[in-house]
A = this chain, B = another copy of it.
Amino acid sequence: MHNNPFAVVAKAGDTIGDLSTPRPIIDEDRLAANIARTQAYMDKHGLNFRPHIKTHKIPALAAQQVAAGAKGINCQKITEAEVFAAAGFEDILITFNIIGLEKLARLAALNERISGLKVVADSSFTVDGLSGYFATRKSLAVLVECDTGGGRCGVQTPEQAATLAKRIGMAPGLTFAGLLNYPKPGAAADVQAFLTETLSLLKAEGIACPIVSNGGSPSLFEAHLVPAASEHRAGTYIYNDRSMVRAGHCTEDDCAMHVLATVVSRPTADRAVIDAGSKALTSDLLGFTDYGQVVGHPEAVITGLSEEHGVIDLSKCDGRRPEIGDKIRIIPNHTCVVSNLFDTMVFHRDGVVTRVEDVAARGLVW
């Protein structure tokens, strides 16, 4: 629970237009529609859905996702998982190689507390470290992380995947729980080929593979193109953002998060300055060349961010240009990193605040 006595408080019943800026706000109806739409897609294709909570870090939202049909949740850090375990979640997959005694101690405590904790590993180093710690404790479920082209973590070949799965299966204190990958979008065929080949190798060895977890928001609605997968993981869809619009996964009207900002200066005819900078919008570009989309002003370009200032080029705007004192709304490039900057999140319906949630898993070192 964040509890800063200097926080500017918002509460249910407040009018969004009266809130101090900059502040992200979440549209309740869009949020609910995003949850329902993605869950319906997964249901239609017979895929288990495991939402990644890094996007919101709020247990009440994960509860909405599970109520809609999600099977378990995905965390990226042990401390995030601790927050959600304390809120009653049992099926938690931490998609990270957990390394180092200081982390293993907390991981073991968490494993004692909930029934469905799972982690991943992509090396014998990680597996041996986990086994060394868990050999004398309650057994830990471990998936093999595969690099099917995403270029981040993961074993490089199906053969390596099968070898590591075998090592996990034989390691004291560990159980082999399945395969996991974080793919490059548009490469579903590569993912399917990698997973299918690995599953064949495992079958030949007589190794059961309970979970095949495909993932990623960029490849969200390609999930059905990987029939080898048993589940899909994604986070961003719950709020949606400019990168999701560009990927074709939603429209601007599906973006539940807007960042409210105030125009504080109009130094020239073509320049507006707002009170949202990199400490509100972040510097994440995700391939864009500007820092967010101003709602209702499609030609406005957020060309630069200082920490608490955003500079907007209005030179291409045909209609009414934002004036000093105007409150504007921005669809951020990347919603997950915006969430991470704020201790509380304000929700609204038709401009009236419905609730304020603590971003409970924010700001936690591992």
A222-258: CB near B (< 8 Å → 1, else 0) gives 0000000000000000000000000000000000000
B307 touches A337 (CB 8 A): yes
Segment of A35-43, A135-143, A151-159, A172-180 engaged in the interface with chain B: A151-159
B365 touches A23 (CB 8 A): yes
Segment of A187-195, A274-282, A314-322, A347-355 engaged in the interface with chain B: A274-282
A153 touches B265 (CB 8 A): yes
Main secondary structure of the interface of A (DSSP, over half): loop
Alpha-carbon distance between A23 and B123 when the two chains are bound, in angstroms: 24
Within 8 A of B (CB), among A44-93: 54, 76-77, 79, 82-83, 86
Within 8 A of B (CB), among A98-150: 99-100, 102-103, 106, 122-123, 125-126, 129, 147
Q: Is A1 an interface residue (CB 8 A)?
A: yes
Q: Is A204 an interface residue (CB 8 A)?
A: no
User: How many copies of the shown chain assemble into the complex?
Assistant: 2
B337 touches A365 (CB 8 A): no
Q: Is A2 an interface residue (CB 8 A)?
A: yes
Instruction: Give the number of residues in A that approach B within 8 Å (Cβ atoms).
Output: 75
- Chain B residues within 8 Å of A126, by CB: 264-265, 324
Interface of A toward B, CB cutoff 8 Å: 1-8, 18-23, 54, 76-77, 79, 82-83, 86, 96-97, 99-100, 102-103, 106, 122-123, 125-126, 129, 147, 151-156, 262, 264-268, 271, 273, 275, 278-279, 282-285, 306-309, 311, 324-325, 336-337, 340-343, 360-366
